[in-house]
Structure 1
Amino acid sequence: MKLKRLFILTTLFCFGLFSPVLKAQTITILQQDKPTSIRGLSVVDDKTAWISGNKGYIAKTTDGGKTWYWQQIKGYEKSDFRDIEAFNDKEAVIMSSGTPSFILKTSDGGQTWQEKYRKTDTTYFLDAMDFADKLHGYILGDPINNKFLLLETKDGGETWAESQNAPDALAGEAAFAASGTCLRVADNGAIYIASGGKSARLISLQPNNNQWQYTNLPVTHGQSSQGAFSLSIGQNQGIIVGGDYANDKKTDSVATIHTVHPFLKFTSPQTGPAGFQSGVEHLKSGIFLSTGTPGSNITTDGGRTWKQIDSTSFNVCRKAKHGKLVLLAGNGGKIGILKL
């Protein structure tokens, strides 16, 4: 189903006028050489952040990334925790992809974890998680019977139920569990999904509306390794990134800019990121950071032009919900910090 709406290409010159020029941006490695691939990252404030990875590994910092407390959760050593949502230094929810699919929660800073959801059905594959507030959140999973799986909690992750209004999926369409950011829930409750595979689409549900909207995206797609991998919503604007992880140096169609209200409008950047990007994050007005296996890129003009600032491979980048701390994470237990 396609959204029947006229899309008008628009210039982003105004973002260049109002976005401050950043003189220098550097990424410094804080941690590495750990036996886990990190794809889940949740930065609470300038002191507290949590990461999650495969082989059951979790880590937390309470001093802005200077030191990290690592653990391999007992009984879940084979779990691939692709996403994490932290509310403070005590409470966090993690989800694992693969079979079985798990959702765990801690309320004591990670000392103990309680299993809140388990699915042994091999058709279930969880991709990403996001919360509108501390109580209301969603988890996106790959399509089952031509419908994306959408789990919902209304009690902070204590219980989860399958949504009765899940979005439709096309044949060969899926979501990527690459950075936990192919699903975003806005503060007003709007839900945004970036898809890939045979199709690349933005799928959205606005508040007080039961009708999903489906919009084709001008990003590389058609193969299982291609499509839209991540999106981030800024101030009345958003960025979608992706590409082809099997050919991560390709720079064609890896970023798309859209305005969120009152209409969805799309255009491609004049200069895009340097290759495949698996994660993108809004930093402040007109400024977004993206990252992937070929390195990290930044735009200061709302996505019109991008500049590569680092060639280190990362999977995910996230900014503090309440603060300025920006962290990145990737394979080999690698954690980095962005300095503006």
Structure 2
Amino acid sequence: MKIAFKLFALVALLFPTFVNAQTITRMNQPASASIRGLSVVDNNVAWVSGSRGNFAISTDGGKTWAWNQVKGYEKSDFRDIEAFSSKEAIVMSSGSPAVILKTTDGGTTWQEKYRQTEERYFLDAMDFADEQHGFILGDPINGKFLLLETKDGGSTWAQANGPEALKDEAAFAASGTCIRAAPMLTVVTGGSHSRILIANPNNLKWTATMLPLTNGTPSRGAFSFATGSNSTIVVGGNYAKDVVADSVAYVFKGIKKLSNGGNPQAGPAGFQSSVEFLKGQTFLATGTSGSNISTDGGKNWRKIDDKSYNVCRKAKHGNLVLLAGDGAKIGIYNP
């Protein structure tokens, strides 16, 4: 009995530490935009972008934000943003017209670098391999995913060789993380089919692998992926039924070349629109159903927050992890 009591006391002592670890602190904002674009530069600087031409900058690690609206673009939905410093960032809009803007003075002024008024041009997500070389993914046109490429830091954009698209296949403008430019240019899709598409960013020759995630309707499929130290994790589900936890994550071994894919033993608790690699074997995923964490490379997931977010991102140069969502909701991840 004494041994049992000691063990119970030890568990009671340790358990609160476990349940209190890995939390998300919500930072209240004086804005109401729906945020889907999030770029965390370092432990201090971060940018968000969203509906009605809104964007915001933080220079204190996400604690406070300076909100603004791009003049002349009050009807634009800025679904993704890529920032390089507190002064320089690139933002793209989904919907018509499709536009790409760049600022070099902290958002005081913006220069339009791309415009397409045809309604079939719908931009989904953006990512950069480095500060000069970047890509923007768009919905399929004439059987191929639209792919725009810049080699001069977003000052000019040209159409590149996008991957072939299956009938009614699409990408999701949900969190900006359905495309990653490094270490390989990689895209995940949904709709009629869920696939992961990979190419060398220097030759754009594509290979495709089917994903066993839920698909078959416009609201279902793979929404996001992240590469870790030795694995790649894909997340998604059905955003129209976000509490359904069936087939919302898939795990591959490898980064540049994927192998031995499989479903998690215990998956995220519902639809996830974004996943981010944090460190070691730790990944964070989020969506309208809440946020989940895995500390074993995606094999098992645990829900850590019930609030709805659209995107989570880790600092390019640092450890800061932020989340953002509808109603200008911003959260800081506490490891």
* TM-score, reference length from structure 2: 0.92
Would you say 1:337 and 2:303 are equivalent positions? no
Would you say 1:153 and 2:165 are equivalent positions? no
Tell me if the contact between 1:201 and 1:215 (Cα under 8 Å) persists in the aligned partners. yes
Would you say 1:171 and 2:167 are equivalent positions? yes
Tell me if the contact between 2:31 and 2:67 (Cα under 8 Å) persists in the aligned partners. no
In structure 1, what residue type is equivalent to 2:211?
Answer: L
Question: Using a 3 Å threshold, how does the CA distance of structure 1 residues 151 and 262 change in structure 2: closer, same or farther?
Answer: closer
Moved more, 319-328 or 228-237: 228-237
1:26 matched residue in structure 2: 23
1:286 matched residue in structure 2: 281
Which runs of 5 or more residues in structure 2 are unaligned? Answer: 1-17
Q: Percent identity?
A: 62
The within-5 A match list for 1:66-215 is 66-163=63-160, 165-186=161-182, 188=183, 190-206=184-200, 210-215=204-209
Tell me if the contact between 1:236 and 1:261 (Cα under 8 Å) persists in the aligned partners. no
Tell me if the contact between 1:33 and 1:332 (Cα under 8 Å) persists in the aligned partners. no
Instruction: Report the Cα distance in structure 1 between the residues aligned to 2:298 and 2:52, rounded to whole angstroms.
Output: 36
1:246 aligns to what SS in structure 2? helix
2:327 aligns to what SS in structure 1? helix
1:303 matched residue in structure 2: 298
CA RMSD of aligned residues (A): 1.3
In structure 1, what residue type is equivalent to 2:68?
Answer: Q
Instruction: Report the Cα distance in structure 2 between the residues aligned to 1:48 and 1:22, rounded to whole angstroms.
Output: 29
1:236 positional shift: 2.8
Question: Using a 3 Å threshold, how does the CA distance of structure 1 residues 180 and 207 change in structure 2: closer, same or farther?
Answer: closer
1:318 matched residue in structure 2: 313
* Match of residue 237, structure 2, among 243, 246, 253: 243
The within-5 A match list for 1:33-44 is 34-44=31-41
Instruction: Report the Cα distance in structure 1 between the residues aligned to 2:259 and 2:246, rounded to whole angstroms.
Output: 22
In structure 2, what residue type is equivalent to 1:244?
Answer: N
1:10 matched residue in structure 2: none
1:147 positional shift: 0.2
Q: Which has the larger radius of gyration?
A: 2
Structure 1 runs, 4 residues or longer, greater than 6 Å off: none
Which runs of 5 or more residues in structure 1 are unaligned? Answer: 1-20
In structure 2, what residue type is equivalent to 1:95?
Answer: M
1:119 positional shift: 0.6
Task: With a CA cutoff of 8 Å and minimum separation of 6, indicate the structure with the bigger relative contact order.
Answer: 1
Tell me if the contact between 1:36 and 1:55 (Cα under 8 Å) persists in the aligned partners. yes
Question: Using a 3 Å threshold, how does the CA distance of structure 1 residues 208 and 97 change in structure 2: closer, same or farther?
Answer: closer
Instruction: Report the Cα distance in structure 2 between the residues aligned to 1:57 and 1:261, rounded to whole angstroms.
Output: 36
Aligned residues: 317
1:263 positional shift: 4.0
Question: Using a 3 Å threshold, how does the CA distance of structure 1 residues 221 and 75 change in structure 2: closer, same or farther?
Answer: same
1:143 aligns to what SS in structure 2? strand
1:285 positional shift: 1.3
Instruction: Report the Cα distance in structure 1 between the residues aligned to 2:216 and 2:189, rounded to whole angstroms.
Output: 11
Instruction: Report the Cα distance in structure 2 between the residues aligned to 1:211 and 1:264, rounded to whole angstroms.
Output: 19
Question: Using a 3 Å threshold, how does the CA distance of structure 1 residues 262 and 294 change in structure 2: closer, same or farther?
Answer: closer
Instruction: Report the Cα distance in structure 1 between the residues aligned to 2:159 and 2:71, rounded to whole angstroms.
Output: 27
1:10-43 CA-to-partner distances (Å, cap 9, x unmatched) read xxxxxxxxxxx99711100113352210000000
Question: Using a 3 Å threshold, how does the CA distance of structure 1 residues 207 and 65 change in structure 2: closer, same or farther?
Answer: closer
Tell me if the contact between 1:33 and 1:334 (Cα under 8 Å) persists in the aligned partners. no
